[in-house]
Amino acid sequence: MTHPVDRVIIHVTQTTYTKTRFVFESPRKKVSAHYVVRSADGHTSQCVRETDIAWHAGDWDYNTRSIGIEHEGWVDQSSYFTGVMYEASARLTAAICTRYGIPMDRTHIIGHYEVPGTDHTDPGPHWDWARYIRLVNGV
Ligand SMILES: [Zn+2]
């Protein structure tokens, strides 16, 4: 079964990078995203292969057709959204979009809060979408 990927979903972890890695490596926890980006230095690690479905969106349709990227931080703490994290994440998103032919715009690069039926608010009001989309497009 193939799942055409047409969305990148932006998350914020609400915990530390280390704890996120730990939770995502526990197979019994049905939460995971494909990538996690660290706040301090933009270090990015892959938790789930892109060809595997990650349980990040909370909606089966969106889980199957999206790549999820978690960002270390909290929705109410803007200080975690560092320049290096934005840049590293944008490079990753740009590469994903190129790989799957996903348009690099806000229709296709969305926040978890935009997934239908979700009660999540991430990435929250401090996430700078204009800056992020600009970085993804390399301008
Ligand atoms: Zn989320």
Question: Is the alpha carbon torsion for 85, 45, 67, 62 positive or negative?
Answer: negative
d(CA 17, CA 30): 18
Q: Which residues are catalytic?
A: 70
What pTM value is reported for the model? Answer: 0.92
CATH 3.40.80.10 fits 7-136, yes or no: yes
Question: How far is it, in rounded angstroms, from Cα 12 to Cα 36?
Answer: 9
> Per mean pLDDT, which range of 13-22, 67-76, 122-131 is the poorest?
13-22
Position 1 pLDDT exceeds 60: no
Residue 28 pLDDT exceeds 80: no
Centroid of ligand 1 to alpha carbon of 101 (angstroms): 23
**Given pLDDT bands bounded at 50, 70 and 90, which one contains residue 2?**
low
The residues spanned by each domain of the chain are 7-136
CA–centroid distance, 10 to ligand 1, in Å, is 7
**pLDDT averaged over the chain?**
91
Question: Looking at residues 24-34, what average pLDDT do you find?
Answer: 70
